[in-house]
Chain A
Amino acid sequence: MRIPAVIALVICAAAGPAFASTDVTFTGTVSDTCTLAVPTPGIMALSTDGTILGSDQTLGVPATVTVLSLGGNTLTLSAPTLTSHPPGYAGGETVQMKFSGLASQPSYVSTQQTIALGLIPLTDLIVNMQVVNANGFVQGDYTAKTVLTCS
């Protein structure tokens, strides 16, 4: 009787611990963390010396862009361009922009600008645009634009 007991004891002692495990995965997709709206397009007016068509001239109106960001996004303003002009306009202009509000670029620039965004509620970005031409402008409508991209 003692022999089976000894053997059973040895078997139990030799048995390894039972163990089981599994990895549990959670996945999530975040989208639409940035929203842009342009409630107020800008209006450019001619300067008194006739060489600047700008939204910060008398009777001009800056554009207002409303930005909402729910995460770490980047707002990009493309280099401003003149997209339309009246027939007979000879060109040779410089298109510039500056902005304030959400972020500040106090002096006029002609190059692409980027703004790092975090968590921000609905906030205005006020954009001024100007077209400078030492030769002046012919009569007609001019349109300048910068493209805002949030990503």
Chain B
Amino acid sequence: MQLRGLIAVLLLAPPVPALAACNVLVSTSGVLARTGDATVLSSESGVPSVIVISGFLNPSISISDPRLESWPPGFDWTSATVEASYQAAWTLGSSSGGYSSGTQSFSAGIGLAVTVTLNNRVTAAGGFRQGNYTTKTTISCS
């Protein structure tokens, strides 16, 4: 009876977090800058973002679709395309993804940490108005 009671308690208890299979240790902000092509604003001309993720057991890493978060008044944001690309490296392997406006994901191998270098770029056929632009990408792991 005592054993049944214990099992029942365990089954009814809410799930508890497992020991984190992964964690975002470090993330730096990126800087977008104009390229030689006036229709492109890219962190390849500025500063890419670097994210370090701890992960021991093949963490699955997902890079969300990049979004344009802010732009100056008068800029036709509907005509802009926002894309992200990444390069990832860990102890015994690497992965990379070209520019895409959709979600990208990969599974890292066994290692202590995964370093992801992330670039964002904004393309606007009509060029850019003067002002500040911000893009955002969400990186998650599980």
Which residues of A approach B to under 8 Å, CB–CB?
3, 6-7, 10-11, 14-34, 69-73, 118-119, 151
Contact = CB atoms under 8 A, between A and B. Distances in A.
Interface residues of B, number: 56
B17 A15 contact: yes
11 contacts: A7-B6, A15-B17, A20-B22, A22-B27, A23-B137, A24-B49, A27-B29, A28-B133, A70-B127, A71-B129, A72-B129
B90 interface: no
Interface in B56-99: 69, 72, 74-76
Contacts of A28: 31-34, 41, 43, 46, 122, 132-134
Nearest to A69: B127
Contacts of B21: 17-18
B1 interface: no
B31 A26 contact: yes
Given A17-B18, A119-B38, A72 B49 contact: no
Interface of B: 3, 6-7, 10-11, 13, 15-24, 27, 29-34, 38-39, 41, 43, 46, 49, 51, 53, 69, 72, 74-76, 118, 120, 122, 126-142
Contact of A25 (B20, B74, B134, B142): B134
Contact of A24 (B41, B128, B132, B137): B137
A24 B62 CA distance: 13
The prevalent SS among residues of A at the interface is strand
A22 B139 CA distance: 5
Contacts of B10: 7, 10-11, 14
Contacts of A23: 136-138
A15 B15 contact: yes
A17 B140 CA distance: 13
A39 to B, nearest CB: 23
